[in-house]
Amino acid sequence: MAQNRFSRREFIEKSCAILGTVGIAGTLFERNMKPGQSGFLKKSEPKEENFDFEKARKKFKEIEKAGFTAHDAMYWEKAPDGRIKCTLCPTYCILRPYERGRCHVRLSLENRLATLVYGRPCSVAIDPIEKKPVFNLLPGSTAFSLATAGCLLGCRYCQNWQISQALPEETDSYDLPPEIAVKSALSEGCKSIAYTYTEPTIFYEYMLDICKLAKKSNLRNVMVSCGYINSEPLKELLPYLDVLKVDLKGFTEKFYRVVCGGRLEPVLNTLKTAAQSNVLIDIVTLIVPTYNDDLETLKKMFEWIVKNVGTKICIFLTRFHPTFQLQNLPPTSLTTLEAARDSALKAGLKFVYLGNVPGNPAENTFCPKCGKKIIGRLGCQVLSIAIEKGKCKFCGEPIPGIWE
């Protein structure tokens, strides 16, 4: 990086300071957001008008030397002008040789698309499944959790921005081929593998290969996703997933455009497609003060979910805490969260939880028929389970989930 330019951290810190001080909303994120374009608040991407092929090729060789070798990517086609068009996510980046997509992990070589992060996660941890949060899969078990660097959105409140907005070569990455990931999960006593922390769609090929091996070893697969994936790759992945947890970040195109740098419609399509499969669907919405906490809009969102996904899925309404580029906002008030939960229950949703409020009664699972507590929790801890053979122990009501 040239000496007279900001480092990544300095740039973000300065952006935060400016945004926080003068209350500018969205200006950085409203650039470069049309489908088919690459580049998104990632200063080191080559710009359209000054793309330097030789420099990009040299950079790729350096990345390879650092251990991020090119692995064939799925889901791409040749654009009419000969460039490579990635068809994995609704961004549809069109790339020149050695140019990277907006996610920063998929790169066009001279006649094919490659991924730089196959087998190279930057975060690996063993987490309680409740931490995802996933409440309808083997409560009290642990999930072998992994992520690579990069992301295809750029949410202004991202809690993992240090890795989601980083280039792979900027992170300390593990060498973890799929078979070793599965072996490690088994040897650590995990019951599932969770693709999480950043957006797993960006490491699609790696995730798919692990999913296939995990299934054979009786491990469950959990994808924690923003749902920004095209329907063909999603349909190929769904048979291997046990839980698809989708971040439905808001319910207006404006929110997605201004706060996340994406579009709402593809996320709704993902939910509709997943609802046609056998996967357990969970939905999480972070309630961000002044941005997506309007009760009328939330009501419409809940009604859409009831109509298009169903009533017996888990919904998590999560408290926002100031972070990344939204440090100028207060945390979500409990009153707002509780009003949102009431609205979701009124719309007909049966399992509505509040997130990031440890100790709140809405962390527990209640039987939708008899109303008794069937799973007691405190934060990520499971305190009691009253589900037997998939049914409420008190009244026999079937409870959707994977319980044993």
Per CB under 6 A, residues contacting ligand SF4 are 38, 86, 88-89, 91-93, 101-103, 106, 152, 202
Shortest separation between residue 67's beta carbon and ligand SF4, angstroms: 20
230/365 with CB nearer ligand SF4: 230
Shortest separation between residue 27's beta carbon and ligand SF4, angstroms: 21
106/120 with CB nearer ligand SF4: 106
Residue 377 Cα to chain centre, angstroms: 24
The answer to whether residues 125 and 181 touch, using CB atoms and an 8 Å cutoff, is no
Distances (CA, A) of 237 to 97, 218, 234, 381: 28, 17, 5, 30
Dig out the tokens for 222 from the structure.
């959990």
Shortest separation between residue 89's beta carbon and ligand SF4, angstroms: 3
Dig out the tokens for 10 from the structure.
């300095």
38/173 with CB nearer ligand SF4: 38
* d(C-alpha 312, C-alpha 182), whole Å: 31
43/372 with CB nearer ligand SF4: 43
156/220 with CB nearer ligand SF4: 156
Strands ordered across the beta sheet of 142-147: 123-128, 142-147, 192-195, 220-225, 243-247, 280-287, 314-319, 351-355
Which of 329, 334, 305 minimizes the C-alpha distance to 319?
334
Shortest separation between residue 403's beta carbon and ligand SF4, angstroms: 35
219/226 with CB nearer ligand SF4: 226
Which residues lie across from 11 on neighbouring strands?
none
The answer to whether residues 268 and 252 touch, using CB atoms and an 8 Å cutoff, is no
Show Cβ contacts of residue 276 under 8 Å, excluding neighbours closer than 6 positions. Answer: none
* d(C-alpha 399, C-alpha 397), whole Å: 6
Shortest separation between residue 200's beta carbon and ligand SF4, angstroms: 11
91/325 with CB nearer ligand SF4: 91
Shortest separation between residue 196's beta carbon and ligand SF4, angstroms: 17
Which of 267, 266, 262 minimizes the C-alpha distance to 245?
267
Burial pattern 173-204, b for ≥16 Cβ within 10 A else e, equals beebebeebbebbbeeebbbbbbbbbbbbbbb
101/227 with CB nearer ligand SF4: 101
CB-closest chain residue to ligand SF4 = 101
Shortest separation between residue 88's beta carbon and ligand SF4, angstroms: 4
Shortest separation between residue 228's beta carbon and ligand SF4, angstroms: 8
